[in-house]
Amino acid sequence: MEKFKRATDSVLSFLHNNYRPFKDLMVVTLLRSGKTLRTINMRSGEEFHLRGNEIPDYLFVIQGRIETTKGDHIETIDAIDNLGALHLFPANHKFIHIKALSDSTIVQADTEMLTELTTWDTLARDSGLFETREEEASLERIRVTTAFRKLPMEAVEEVFKRLKRVEVNKGDEIIKQGEVGDAFYLIISGEAEVWRQGLYDDEQKMVTVLSSGDAFGEEALIIKGTRNATVRMKTDGVLFKLEQNDFDELIATPMIKIVPPQVANTMLKNGYHLLDVRYEEEYDESYIPGAQLVPLPDLRERINEIDPKKKYLVVCAVGKRASVGALLMRQRNIKELSVIEGGMRDWPYETQSNY
């Protein structure tokens, strides 16, 4: 049995053509998703155990036929007959036994990491801000900037809605040293020079060059002060701009109430309704009794199924998709809602399964 630490391009292409959530990913996210995957080749008759993580991982059979045993549940999965079907590893560090009924290739996906990537991808695509493949390639660098890295996902969606796309020319001065800060910028394409005049300098000196994915302008907004450098475009390019009021509101202020499981359990007993925004396969594996299932990718189209007069708790695997779902609900005037902290991963109370 040969194991690989990451998926090959051919595996990613196969997943992209046949499986959710890979089908709609931008190329940059698809390539990044390879780091969340482990490809395992098995010869006919080989058997082994895999230990699950804190939440169920995704399992894809892309070649051959296997038999899986989870507790008392035995399932046969055929790469052709079950093409496109999502399967799950067990949660809470339980084991799954896998037997290859023919030469097979299976892929295990780290659900938590993959969910973060795909959610970012969805928000970026829906924003309509990225117009070219080159601009899409900057998404990963934006995701890990200081300003975005620790944002709750619902705030990221709102940021994308408020960003303004600005086309700039070589030589344009975007911010000027000494001026009061009024906006935050992300470079989507092109390069910009940073010029700074120190206390004992007679004139400005170029200190660095910024490129696609780099951000600037946040320091003056955070400290409510003046710009400490001038940023001038070295080439033509495209910037995303976030005005100061939006930066203050979205970067610093959480938008969705997060409640721990103990509080959520009491809220459910006192009239709150539960909305589960995971995939159907995840829900079937383990769900909280009484939960209403509306997968996040379908929520916009099925929002009419949500009663604005009711109070809601939203849950997913770990909380990220639930936060985005809660924001979508809030935008449609559903005011009484909260997200369950830690999602199903940290839920200590009763659950049910359809297996």
pLDDT digits (tens, 9 = 90+) for 250-303: 875 555 789 999 999 999 999 999 999 999 999 999 999 999 999 988 888 898
C-alpha distances out from residue 211 to 7, 190, 264, Å: 29, 6, 44
Instruction: Classify strands 292-293 and 273-276 as parallel, antiparallel or unpaired.
Output: parallel
CA diameter of the chain: 78
- β-partners of residue 196 are 205
Task: Output 278 or 355, whichever has higher pLDDT.
Answer: 278
- pLDDT above 70: percentage of residues in the chain: 95
Q: Is the pLDDT of residue 4 over 60?
A: no
Q: Is the pLDDT of residue 8 over 60?
A: yes
Same domain (yes/no): 274, 311: yes
Alpha-carbon span 314 to 272, nearest angstrom:
10
Q: Is the pLDDT of residue 348 over 50?
A: yes
Q: Read off the pLDDT of each residue in 149-169 and give the average, rounded to a whole number.
A: 86
Same domain (yes/no): 267, 328: yes
Q: Is the pLDDT of residue 179 over 90?
A: yes
Same domain (yes/no): 217, 137: yes
Written as one string, the DSSP assignment of 36-89 is GEEEEEE-TT-EEEEE--SSPPEEEEEESEEEEEETTEEEEEETTTTTT--EE-
Same domain (yes/no): 98, 146: no
Alpha-carbon span 48 to 1, nearest angstrom:
10
> Which residues are CB-contacts of 94 (< 8 A; sequence separation ≥ 6)?
51, 52, 70, 71
Range of the domain at 181: 128-252
Total number of domains constituting the chain = 3
Q: Please report, for the domain that includes residue 312, its CATH number.
A: 3.40.250.10
Confidence of residue 234 (pLDDT cuts 50, 70, 90): very high
> Which residues are CB-contacts of 263 (< 8 A; sequence separation ≥ 6)?
none
Written as one string, the DSSP assignment of 200-216 is T-SS-EEEEEE-TT-EE
Q: Is the pLDDT of residue 151 over 90?
A: no
Q: Read off the pLDDT of each residue in 161-185 and give the average, rounded to a whole number.
A: 95
- Asked if residue 155 belongs to a domain, the reply is yes
- pLDDT above 90: percentage of residues in the chain: 53
The answer, as to whether pTM is greater than 0.75, is no
Where is mean pLDDT largest: 82-91, 224-233, 269-278? 269-278
C-alpha distances out from residue 115 to 15, 43, 173, Å: 15, 30, 38
Residue at a domain's end among 78, 110, 142? 110
Q: Is the pLDDT of residue 129 over 70?
A: yes
The helix/strand/coil state of 4 is: strand
Alpha-carbon span 88 to 285, nearest angstrom:
8
Cis amide linkage into residue 21, ω under 30° from 0: yes
- Asked if residue 121 belongs to a domain, the reply is no
